Structure 1
Amino acid sequence: MLDDLNRTQPPPPPPPQNPAYSAPFRPYGYGYPTPPRRSPWFWIAVIGGGFAVVALLITAMVWSSINTLSGGDTSAFGSHIAVIDIDGVIMDADKVNKQLQKFGNDSSVKAIILHINSPGGGAAASQEVYNEVLRVRSEKHKQIVASIESVGASGAYYIASACDRIYANQASVVGSIGVIMEWTNYGDLMHWAKLKSVVIHAGELKDAGDPTRDMTPKEAAYFQALTDNMYAQFIHDVAIGRHTSDAKIQPLATGQVWTGQQSLPLGLIDKIGGFRVALTDTAKSVGISGEPSIIRPSTQKKGLAALLSGDADDLFPNPSKLLDHAPGFYFLWK
């Protein structure tokens, strides 16, 4: 009886399964289908791609090593126009001069453009860059062109005058041929704070410019003579750079600035035009056809590593340097 019931009832349905796991794992073989075989071209593509990635990495490493050892000389890779940016107040000539030397020695660099946006700066620093521009032009026989963006005044114009040509926009600020000497007199502040400056010196003018007291008439005449001498140097060097005479520059050396549009008829610049005009004109003049290739100095970013190595004074200035401010002479438009 019981056997008859078992034969007549259908078997129970299988338990429900999660669709994501509806196919239990079964090893290949034992009656189950084998996986599809990969095409030989698939493995060729994988191996070839791996070799290509390794080759690119090796090429990059070799190029980086060559570039480091050669100081950035790209002579094996065609003709270039080098661009050096002169931005902000010029207080140190070393950085710009090293860039001029580097591109002057690079045989692939056919010309150099100084991209200027500066009100000038220290008199001696501006002079150093001026002299280096003349040296590279003379010894390396390379064109150096100045392209003034917004401002090319005083010491920045001093540098530009050493170039083969000067370009400026119509609204650029150009000129300011003059010298200024300045410092801060804090004598009244010390008197208010009941502090006294104690100075022992030998030589009547040794402490001339002491910021804790007023100048004497003799000291004022002394500093004026120094300023006048630097002023004459400024005029003479600009006259040499612009292929004219001191007498022609003297009337323009009032310390004032002009727009680029006003500067052209005065002979302070050679052509109205921005950086693009300067670039294309320069490329044509050195025989580069088509779109010129530009190279710039490598930039080094400041960060934690620079801070730890002591090279990040600009991030966190040393407070003691705030007191290190002696009287200075400047080719600076203010």
Structure 2
Amino acid sequence: MTDNDSSTPPSPNAPGRSPNWERDLLDRLAFAALTEQRRARRWKIFFRFFFAAYLLVILVLAQSDNWSGKSLTKRHTALVDLDGEISASSQASADNVISGLRAAFESSYTVGVVLRANSPGGSPVQSGYINDEIKRLRTKYPKIPLYAVIEDVCASGCYYAVAAADKIYADKASIVGSIGVLMNGFGFVDTMKKLGVERRLMTSGEHKGFLDPFGPVKPGEAKHAQELLDQIHRQFIDTVRQGRGKSLKETQDMYSGLFWTGDDAVKLGLVDELGSTSYVAREVIGAEEIVDYTYRENVFDRFARRIGTAMAQTMSAEILGRVPSLK
């Protein structure tokens, strides 16, 4: 072995090296590890406080709409929005609209309530819930009037809901009506034949595959579906007649699914007068101050609802596609 063999370990007594260099090295490594642990612990505490403060700020901002304006201690016009498609999972669900209406009527400073409608319609069940609750609240609070004010459109299920109002107002260019019921879908029988796809559907009930889009329409099932639609249509017509009373000037086309402008709707008795929300608050109710009681989900409610319904929506998509709709 030569003097320059690199495998020869350095001498512990080499010039310039401390006799306790191993211990010094271990001490420095231990101290560095301890410092790193302390730093990691401080960052962990910081991020915990930061995350908690962030959640608190989101909660405050999310609830701000529900807090603002409702502490007014003077007479005012209460406003509740019915905006968008009416369904159990939308902002215009019966639960949300009814929550806003109840809060509006329960305020001791509410002089009158405006239900501001802007919706193409939706579920007949949800629309019926809103209609029923309007009638109940009008009976419970007879001194507080409820007026519906139509913005761009109030069609089908939307009109079903607001027909119970004391009076209905609209703009001259608003779209009103579409008193009818529909059930739609698609048929893929010929497409499957062309693609050479075979449908394998197993059921334990004669009509469990009711209106299966991958099979031919069965006359008996089509007849049953039409009877369902006709029954819901009659319920819709009865609700409109009950709500509008003698104001209606019925025509042959009134319940055909057609819709009209606000101007024509006044002539037909579907709308009482032309007017906006501010006009009704100022000139009809007599309380120009408007307080918004519309229920709006906060970020936590929305997140929980979406998590809770994600799986259910996947499983029920086939069924919901065949539910009658007031659109």
Give the Å deviation of 1:104. Answer: 2.4
Aligned to 2:274: 272
Q: Are 2:148 and 2:167, in contact at CA under 8 Å, matched by a contact in 1?
A: yes
Quick one: which amino acid aligns to residue 77 of structure 1?
Answer: T
Take 1:230 and 1:274, find their aligned partners in 2: how far apart are those partners?
Answer: 31
**CA, structure 1 residues 186+112, in 2 after alignment: closer, same or farther (shift >3 Å)?**
farther
Q: Are 1:209 and 1:219, in contact at CA under 8 Å, matched by a contact in 2?
A: yes
Give the Å deviation of 1:312. Answer: 4.6
**CA, structure 1 residues 306+74, in 2 after alignment: closer, same or farther (shift >3 Å)?**
closer
2:78 pairs with one of 76, 82, 91: 82
Aligned to 1:201: 204
Quick one: which amino acid aligns to residue 296 of structure 2?
Answer: T
SS in structure 1 at match of 2:183: strand
Give the Å deviation of 1:143. Answer: 1.3
Take 1:246 and 1:269, find their aligned partners in 2: how far apart are those partners?
Answer: 9
**CA, structure 1 residues 279+246, in 2 after alignment: closer, same or farther (shift >3 Å)?**
closer
Aligned to 1:310: 304
Take 1:76 and 1:150, find their aligned partners in 2: how far apart are those partners?
Answer: 30
Whether 1:330 and 2:325 are equivalent positions in the alignment is: yes
Q: How many residues align?
A: 256
Report which of the two has the higher share of helix. 2
TM-score (norm 1): 0.67
RMSD: 3.3
Percent identical pairs in the alignment equals 29
Aligned to 2:233: 231
Q: Deviations over 1:262-301 (max 9, x none)?
A: 11111110001222222223422xxx4xx32423335345
TM-score (norm 2): 0.68
Give the Å deviation of 1:247. Answer: 9.0
Give the Å deviation of 1:229. Answer: 0.7
Question: Bigger radius of gyration, 1 or 2?
Answer: 1
Aligned to 2:121: 120
1:153 pairs with one of 149, 152, 155: 155
What stretches of structure 2 of length at least 5 have no aligned partner? 1-59, 89-93
Higher mean displacement: 240-249 or 119-128:
240-249
Quick one: which amino acid aligns to residue 147 of structure 1?
Answer: V
Q: Are 1:236 and 1:246, in contact at CA under 8 Å, matched by a contact in 2?
A: no
Which structure has more RCO (C-alpha within 8 Å, separation ≥ 6)? 2
What stretches of structure 1 of length at least 5 have no aligned partner? 1-63
Aligned to 1:46: none
Q: Are 2:281 and 2:290, in contact at CA under 8 Å, matched by a contact in 1?
A: no
Take 2:156 and 2:124, find their aligned partners in 1: how far apart are those partners?
Answer: 9
Aligned to 2:23: none
Aligned to 2:22: none
1:263 pairs with one of 262, 265, 268: 265
